[in-house]
Amino acid sequence: MASNRVLPSTVGRTEQQSTRLAFFIAGFGMAAWAPLVPFVKARSGLSEGALGLLLLCLGAGSIVAMPLAGAFAGRFGCRRVFVAATLLICLTLPILAAASNLPLLIAALFLFGAGVGSVDCVVNIQAVIVERASRRPMMSGFHGLFSVGGIVGAAGVSALLSLGASPLVAAFCVVAGTVAVLVKATPHLLPYGGEGEGSAFAMPQGLVLFIGILCFIVFLTEGAALDWSAVFLTSMRDVAPSYAGLGYVAFAGAMTLGRLTGDAMVRRLGSQRVILVGSFCAAVGLALTTLVPLWEAAILGYALVGAGCSNIVPVLYTAAGRQTAMPEHAAVPAITTLGYAGILAGPAAIGFVAHATSLSVALLAVAVLLLVVAGCGRILRV
């Protein structure tokens, strides 16, 4: 097996561009699933509770696959694992768009989640290597392409469905677009998967665990915006259900803009200040959302949350690439898994707290956690 040692001279503009395309694929493939969920529910006759249990299969597949993807990337390289995981997404998405049999849906969604989780893991390993070899901040821009892919995927499928296309036709359009971008990206994806030796299944500890916990909090915040913003606007600010999505639109739009301009911000402010300022900005956004009794303030608050969170996770991935306690093909899956756990468990935890107190109190608790991230950012060497 060829050495995994990565030399800066092996990475250039073509590898940087392929990394951007890979992030676009990651966001595009995952977001294309969201508009298909109501059709799955109607076709299979699932109740809301049963649908919720079914959707857990996606998260379960992702979390199971991430450490495996890191191990395979370390052994076989980012290119092979990324291509295989992307093709798994392309294989399972049409099944999800057409199937009504519950066991088949469970299996397909688990495999779809495994593909999504593997792609997300491997593309971040590639990004860590490419950014380090390029010797300049690039991670925020990479993650910005993930956000752009998500917007294009969700909006594109929604547009096809609104024009009368069947879910299966929309899914095949997604597959065709994904394969086209994959063909362009594949030649310059990295044939290796990390620097350094060591077990890919080592439990995160020390600095890697510390970074993972910070990622958990930031991803928990993102999950709160995704799953609870519409509920908050309708139940607490009397916004009509047809406009309740504006909170997440403000969040996602600000996050995308922040990531696309984030590399310049990291160069200007430095990584520690980006974490400090970003976390504080997001905490202020949640405070504004919950404490000012105006729906306009809530929309502005969600925009501040998106802008504040936009560059924290990219900076933390950069820190994962610079630490030496674990090789990146082990550290990145560990951090990504903790982040996904925040997205999956966070909204449920917010629901429990909201049930015991109120939704405003639950969101303010998230703001307090963000202040913890801000404080930790001062001591994290990145």
Q: What is the CATH number of the domain that holds 350?
A: 1.20.1250.20
pLDDT at residue 200, as a whole number? 52
Are 249 and 359 contained in the same domain?
yes
Q: Show the 3-state SS of the chain.
A: CCCCCCCHHHCCHHHHHHHHHHHHHHHHHHHCCHHHHHHHHHHHCCCHHHHHHHHHHHHHHHHHHHHHHHHHHHHHCHHHHHHHHHHHHHHHHHHHHHCCCHHHHHHHHHHHHHHHHHHHHHHHHHHHHHHHHHCCCCHHHHHHHHHHHHHHHHHHHHHHHHCCCCHHHHHHHHHHHHHHHHHHHHHHCCCCCCCCCCCCCCCCCHHHHHHHHHHHHHHHHHHHHHHHHHHHHHHHCCCCHHHCCHHHHHHHHHHHHHHHCHHHHHHHHCHHHHHHHHHHHHHHHHHHHHHCCCHHHHHHHHHHHHHHHCCHHHHHHHHHHHCCCCCHHHHHHHHHHHHHHHHHHHHHHHHHHHHHCCHHHHHHHHHHHHHHHHHHHCCCCC
Domain count, the chain: 2
Q: Is residue 9 part of a domain?
A: no
How many angstroms from the chain centroid is the CA of residue 105?
Answer: 23
Lookup: tokens for 380: 């994290």
Are 173 and 210 contained in the same domain?
no
Per-residue model confidence as pLDDT tens for the chain (382 residues): 333 444 444 678 899 999 999 999 999 998 899 888 888 888 888 887 788 788 889 888 999 999 999 999 989 999 999 999 999 999 999 999 999 999 999 999 999 999 999 999 999 999 999 999 988 999 999 999 999 999 899 889 989 988 999 999 999 999 999 999 999 999 999 998 865 554 555 677 788 999 999 999 999 999 888 878 988 998 899 998 778 888 988 999 999 999 999 999 999 999 999 999 999 999 999 999 999 999 999 999 999 999 999 999 999 999 988 888 888 888 999 999 998 888 888 888 888 898 899 999 999 999 999 999 999 987 776 6
Instruction: Return the C-alpha torsion angle 305, 309, 310, 311, nearest 10.
Output: 150
Q: Is residue 5 part of a domain?
A: no
Of 162, 188, 214, at which residue does a domain stop? 188
Are 211 and 169 contained in the same domain?
no
Are 184 and 243 contained in the same domain?
no
pLDDT at residue 2, as a whole number? 38
Q: pTM of the entire structure? A: 0.86
Are 112 and 232 contained in the same domain?
no
Burial class (CB in 10 A: 0-12, 13-18, 19+), 221: buried
pLDDT at residue 3, as a whole number? 38
pLDDT at residue 199, as a whole number? 52
Are 134 and 251 contained in the same domain?
no
Q: Is residue 44 part of a domain?
A: yes
Q: Residue 309's domain spans which residues?
A: 206-377
Residue with tokens 């995981």: 85
